[in-house]
Amino acid sequence: MGQKKMKQQQSLGLLGNWKEEEEEEEEEEDMEKSGSSTGTAAVADAKIASIFIYPVKSCRGISVPHAPLTLTGFRWDRQWVVVNEKGRAISQRAEAKLALVEVNMPKEAFSEGWEPTKNSYMEIKAPGMDLLKIPLCNPPLVADGVSFMRWSGSALDEGDQASKWFTDFLGKPCRLVRFNAASETRDVDPVYAQGYFVMFSDQYPFMLISQESLDALNKHLNEPVPINRFRPNFLVAGCEPFSEDLWTEIKISQFSFQGVKLCARCKVPTIDQDTAIVGPEPNATLMKIRSDKVLRPDKKQQGKIYLGQSLVCKESLTEGKAKMVKVGDPIYVINKVSTAAEAAA
């Protein structure tokens, strides 16, 4: 792997990263954009620079070279969440210290067709805390009365050891629970995408940001911020700044994704993911350059700021062979709107 790529990945500030010794660059020379009748090879509009997965909601992410697509997003993404004594989900919005919790998964967990054994664990670390190991096989305990945003239902309880670990770390009673995919579903907002599902993601299965958009934002900041402030699943590169605002349909490799809604940002980008210290930026600057007042002046004003595009994947709804995407995969824009004001938000 080249020194430039290593430096870029290290600058992301994400723990739990692991990288392959070699990455193959494949050219998709036979792929054509939808509607093309020339028969010539299409030129990619961008490519995947990094893939991130966040197994525990609001804890640190893992940078991976490839990942399988599932019905609810990437496999393992936001499958766990910490809840308080009333069963309500806790995120960095209420507990910034979750930014300090490092999560690691077995390398093979992101391989095609891999299934956990009784010796497969997710490892959780944090400053001043002992290592916590969570078996990847489903726990037998069921916790009723779990609530996450507008959803409520049952979840799988990871037991007293995990509960004590998070209780000690956060200084308040809480438990770690896992989404119970066998008995529960959680729909995305049907106004924007019908028939799609998530686990403990805020709204949609995938979120994408371009490196160029981050670079453009950082030019306005006294202290540049890394991509981990925004917690995307896809970091892409090779396009114009903020061009992802306009993407309503793209292909990543051979898979079709719909851009369903601009990603409105909450307070999490203001939390330094290395220290859990909260400050005014980058949201103060985003309010000046990326608010609905700026991007959508003729639309209903909600006082929101935007960075990134929320996605759903059409192929995630179909059965069949495992579907994998990898770093370096080309991105082809099939359909787009002309301005951010035309995009759903």
DSSP secondary structure letters along 140-154: SEEEEEEEETTEEEE
Q: How confident is the prediction for the chain on average, in pLDDT?
A: 90
Helical H segments across the chain, by residue range: 3-10, 160-170, 211-218, 283-289, 292-295
Would you call 164 helix, strand, or coil by DSSP? helix
CA distances from 61 to 18, 118, 120, 253, 259 (A): 11, 24, 19, 23, 22
Mean pLDDT over residues 144-164, rounded?
A: 97
- 316 neighbors 71 (Cβ within 8 angstroms): yes
pLDDT given at position 42 = 82
User: How do the domains of the chain map onto residue ranges?
Assistant: 3-342
- 331 neighbors 47 (Cβ within 8 angstroms): yes
As a residue count, the chain comes to 345
User: pLDDT tens for residues 253-292?
Assistant: 899 999 999 999 999 999 999 999 999 999 999 999 999 9
pLDDT given at position 139 = 84
Rounded to an integer, what distance in angstroms lies between the CA atom of residue 261 and that of residue 265?
Answer: 12
Residue 41 has pLDDT above 80, yes or no: no
CA distances from 299 to 245, 293, 295, 345 (A): 16, 8, 9, 10
pLDDT given at position 40 = 52
- 52 neighbors 233 (Cβ within 8 angstroms): yes
User: pLDDT tens for residues 50-104?
Assistant: 999 999 999 999 999 999 999 999 999 999 999 999 999 999 999 999 999 999 9
Give the largest Cα separation in the chain, rounded. Answer: 63
User: pLDDT tens for residues 100-144?
Assistant: 999 999 999 999 889 999 999 999 999 999 999 999 997 889 999
Read off the pLDDT band of 199 (50, 70, 90). Answer: very high
Residue 152 has pLDDT above 70, yes or no: yes
Residue 296 has pLDDT above 50, yes or no: yes
Rounded to an integer, what distance in angstroms lies between the CA atom of residue 67 and that of residue 81?
Answer: 21
Structure tokens of 48? 């995947």
Among 5-9, 118-122, 224-228, 331-335, which is the least confidently predicted range? 5-9
